[in-house]
Amino acid sequence: MFDIIPMKGGLGTVEGFYCDGVNCGMREGEQPDLAYIRSATPCDITATFTTNRFQAAPIKHYQRYEKGFQTDFFLINAKNANAMTGERGIRDIDTIFEAIGEKIELTNPVMSSTGVIGYPLPTEKIIDGFEKFDLDARNSARAAEAIMTTDRFPKELAFEVTLEDGSSFHIAGICKGAGMINPAMATMLCFIVTDADIPAAEMDLLLRESVDTSFNTISVDGDTSTNDSVFLLASRESGSYDREAFRTALDMLTHRLAMMILEDGEGANKVVAFEVSGAATKADAIKASKTLSNSLLVKTALFGEDPNWGRIASTIGASGITCDETRLVIRYEDLIVYSSDYPVLDAQREAKAAEIMKRHSYKIRCDIGVGEASHTSYGCDLSYDYVKINADYRT
């Protein structure tokens, strides 16, 4: 048994970590655009990265370190993705860390960037920005604010986990993401730190499994960026650990952060779970639920609050999975809107379906009726604001 309690303070609640955010002049106004996360001593790190073939320079820079390396410093900037910048992009990171390394000791520092593709980093601004950091701060809120792009709100979360023996550890994360969100790794940056005494060998698998059931199940627009990264850093300072407790806390953290990203989906007003069950294979279940969460016609129907189940059925058929219209049952929450026994949605049930669609959050449940496999993906509606936000993202 163990207890998991939400904490205020984000990354700052975890022993051994410091963080802050400042404005270095990449973003107009006062909002920070540069953050650091550092640990008192070098700590183990694991990460999952975008499936995009054009990985950004910071990801390539990370991959130059030997497997199993330790780090004590993370630098994160918004406004510029440092992607499609070639060898220069990697050299710029080295230049930045050489300059910072003259001020403080750095062990295998890691950079992470988000923003527009195709422009070199303003290295001078970033190096000057470092001077403004309070290196002993635990200002998680400022760090979470610094990494925002089109996000409407900063995203941070922390848990304290208490084990049966009375020992406890912490796990906390900040993330950003609002557009270019696709199940093949949501477009986002996420930094998770823990003081749990987790064995280095377990970190990678636990992170991968957790990302698969959280960030990899959400979709805002079906696009996948060049910079997506999720990092897990462990300081071990608490001396406390239990695998099941840690896994549970990590899964809660990633799932809730993923839902925050979806809540903040560009122009989105609704968060909808697409529960597919009764599919012939797991691959079919995943395919159908992801196709639903990415369909423009489904997303606009969610926005219009139109109980047009025909678009749900048509999208399942278009996904190419094994299916049969006489076995399919579609429900909005518990309300059957289609089964071959009730082919016509009468006015009463249509009104009930319309009521459900007015909710901020609900489930669309599709029983394919041909097997046992199931999968749930999460999506949002497509509004005028999505188009507005993305038509002039750079300006």
| Sites of contact with a second copy (CB under 8 A) | 51-55, 81, 83-86, 88, 116-120, 179-180, 182, 184, 221-226, 295-297, 300-301, 303-304, 306, 308-311, 313-318, 320-323, 325-326, 338, 340, 343-345, 382-384, 386-388, 390-395
Task: Compare residues 3 and 393 and give the one whose CB is closer to a second copy.
Answer: 393
**Residue 364: its H or E element:** strand 361-367
Minimal distance, residue 188 CB to a second copy, in Å: 14
Minimal distance, residue 22 CB to a second copy, in Å: 26
Q: Most distant CA pair in the chain: distance in Å? A: 74
* Residue 187 falls in the annotated catalytic set: yes
Task: Compare residues 68 and 118 and give the one whose CB is closer to a second copy.
Answer: 118
The residue among 207, 246, 200 whose CA lies nearest residue 44 is 200
Distance of alpha carbon 52 from alpha carbon 59, whole angstroms:
11
The residue among 221, 74, 214, 220 whose CA lies nearest residue 157 is 214
Helical axes 86-101 vs 123-130, angle rounded to 10°: 20
Task: Compare residues 180 and 203 and give the one whose CB is closer to a second copy.
Answer: 180
Distance of alpha carbon 352 from alpha carbon 375, whole angstroms:
25
Task: Compare residues 205 and 387 and give the one whose CB is closer to a second copy.
Answer: 387
- Radius of gyration over every alpha carbon of the chain, rounded to an integer in angstroms: 22
Residue with tokens 């489930």: 363
- Hey, how many other C-beta atoms are within 10 angstroms of the C-beta on 350? 16
- Proportion of the chain in helix, strand, coil states, percent, rounded to 5: 35, 30, 40
Q: What is the DSSP string of 183-232?
A: SSS-S-EEEEEE-S---HHHHHHHHHHHHHTTGGGEESSS---S--EEEE
Where would I find the beta strands (DSSP E) of 50-108?
Answer: 70-77
Task: Compare residues 118 and 239 and give the one whose CB is closer to a second copy.
Answer: 118
The strands making up 335-339's β-sheet, listed across from edge to edge, are: 218-219, 373-380, 271-279, 361-367, 329-332, 335-339
Distance of alpha carbon 33 from alpha carbon 76, whole angstroms:
8
Kindly report the length of the chain: 395
**Residue 256: its H or E element:** helix 243-263
Minimal distance, residue 317 CB to a second copy, in Å: 3
Task: Compare residues 154 and 307 and give the one whose CB is closer to a second copy.
Answer: 307
Minimal distance, residue 83 CB to a second copy, in Å: 7
Catalytic, out of 187, 217, 224, 226: 187
Minimal distance, residue 64 CB to a second copy, in Å: 16
Task: Compare residues 109 and 115 and give the one whose CB is closer to a second copy.
Answer: 115
Q: Known catalytic residues?
A: 187
